[in-house]
Each structure stands twice: as C-alpha cells, then as structure tokens.
A and B are shown apart, each in its own frame.
Chain A
Amino acid sequence: NAGVTQTPKFQVLKTGQSMTLQCAQDMNHEYMSWYRQDPGMGLRLIHYSVGAGITDQGEVPNGYNVSRSTTEDFPLRLLSAAPSQTSVYFCASSYSWTTSYEQYFGPGTRLTVT
C-alpha cells in the first residue's frame, strides 16, 4: 500500500490564482480530512469527508472547497489564493469516522502565496 499520497510537494502561487491540492489513499478508508499547519497555531481542520459524496466544514474552511466523488480521492481547491493561505497542508485518512481508528497522514504540500 502507498498509504496517503499528496501532490504536489511544493507550490508557489500568486495572489488570486487558484489551484487544487491532490490527496489519494489506497486503504479503502471512509474518513478523509484536510489540515493546515502553521507556526504557533498547530494543525487545524479545514474540511472533512465521512464517505464518497459527503463533505463538511472544519474549523478553518474559508477560501477552500472540497468534493469527494470516489472513496480514494479527496482534493482540496483554493479558489482565489491569498498570502494568509501560505501554510503546510496535510491530508489524513482513517478507516471509519467513528473515531476508534488510527488516522494516517500524507507527506504534506508546502504552499507559498506571494
């Protein structure tokens, strides 16, 4: 198993540009989520999904969009990038959203918005 994969590893955007961060898992996990990690703020939940076709907002959803058309993929879209979105983004997955299961993280995407 490749586990949780994320692409790209690094990205530089200009303010106002849009892009999609890709996340995929091959463990047949129902639950997937996106976090951002900022110095002094720790990791914060952006969006999550409990299964294909079902998504919901986390703590910091503004400026981001998600969809989940398959069990394997959970892309995160930045609609109009802002410098405040400079961060490291992590995708995570777990077998079930009932939270009794270990969560696995991808290697992260380091995004800089200028």
Chain B
Amino acid sequence: KQEVTQIPAALSVPEGENLVLNCSFTDSAIYNLQWFRQDPGKGLTSLLLIQSSQREQTSGRLNASLDKSSGRSTLYIAASQPGDSATYLCAVTGGSQGNLIFGKGTKLSVKP
C-alpha cells in the first residue's frame, strides 16, 4: 500500500530564507506527483504537477523535483515571504483508481 510521508511536520523560517520541503513515498510505481498549498479553512490549491517521466518543474519561486527510483520529492521555495505561510501537501497518483494519496503536510510559517 502506497504511503506518503512529509518531513518536517512544521517549519518556521524568517522572511527571505530559501527552504526545502520533503516528501517521500513507498511505491515508486506512480503516474505523477502533485504539490498543493492549503490555507487555514480553505481548499487545496495546486502548485506543481510532475509527471513520472520528469525530474523537475518550476513555477515562479517554486521548484519541485522528483526522484522516482528513490521515492523522493522536494519543494524548494526561494526568498520566502509571509504570504507563503500555509500547509503544503504532497500527493502521488498511482494504482487503478486515479486518486491522489496524500501526505499529512508540512505547516510553514514565514516570520516577517
């Protein structure tokens, strides 16, 4: 059974710092991996989608990498801002149901 783990569970950094969020998964047979952002009391906003054949994707200050063979992904956030404060969720898609299997998230706090 696929399991997704995100470390750390919470992270607090000063504004301007570059940071890395980690995601690992137990079964490398995935179709893709998606990073989401969730603000308190809100829905999920898709940040980046990496296909299984890709190594990385970039969007603005965000860069996500995927190493399928080792079951790892990282989300790099450059020059963090207080507006980046949110919970970041990693999810993989695999199997026959087409559904996402989520990690429990990393709660990021960026202090001014």
> Which of B14-22, B63-71, B77-85, B95-103 touches A?
B95-103
Across-interface contacts of B44 in A (CB, < 8 A): 90, 92, 105
Across-interface contacts of B106 in A (CB, < 8 A): none
Distance in Å: Cβ of A82 to nearest Cβ of chain B: 23
Nearest neighbor of A45 in chain B, beta-carbon distance: B99
Within 8 Å of chain B (Cβ to Cβ): is A43? yes
Distance in Å: Cβ of B30 to nearest Cβ of chain A: 9
Across-interface contacts of B51 in A (CB, < 8 A): 100
Contact with A103, one of B42, B46, B97 (Cβ below 8 angstroms): B46
- What's the Cα separation between A101 and B49 when bound, in Å? 8
Within 8 Å of chain B (Cβ to Cβ): is A84? no
Within 8 Å of chain B (Cβ to Cβ): is A40? yes
A-B pair number, CB within 8 angstroms = 59
Nearest neighbor of A94 in chain B, beta-carbon distance: B98
Within 8 Å of chain B (Cβ to Cβ): is A33? yes
A108 touching B42, Cβ below 8 Å: yes
Within 8 Å of chain A (Cβ to Cβ): is B24? no
Nearest neighbor of B51 in chain A, beta-carbon distance: A100
A106 touching B43, Cβ below 8 Å: yes
B98 touching A50, Cβ below 8 Å: yes
Contact status of A102 and B98, CB under 8 A, knowing A40-B104, A42-B104, A42-B105: no
Q: Which residues of B contact A (CB under 8 A)?
A: 31-32, 34, 36, 41-46, 49, 51, 89, 91, 93-94, 97-100, 102-105
Given A43-B91, A97-B98: 13 more A-B contacts, CB < 8 Å:
A31-B98, A42-B104, A43-B102, A45-B99, A48-B98, A56-B97, A99-B98, A100-B31, A102-B34, A102-B49, A105-B36, A105-B43, A106-B43
- 6 A-B contacts, Cβ less than 8 Å apart? A42-B103, A45-B100, A99-B32, A105-B36, A106-B43, A108-B42
Instruction: State the 5 A-B residue pairs at the shortest beta-carbon distance, nearest first.
Output: A105-B44, A99-B31, A97-B98, A107-B43, A45-B99
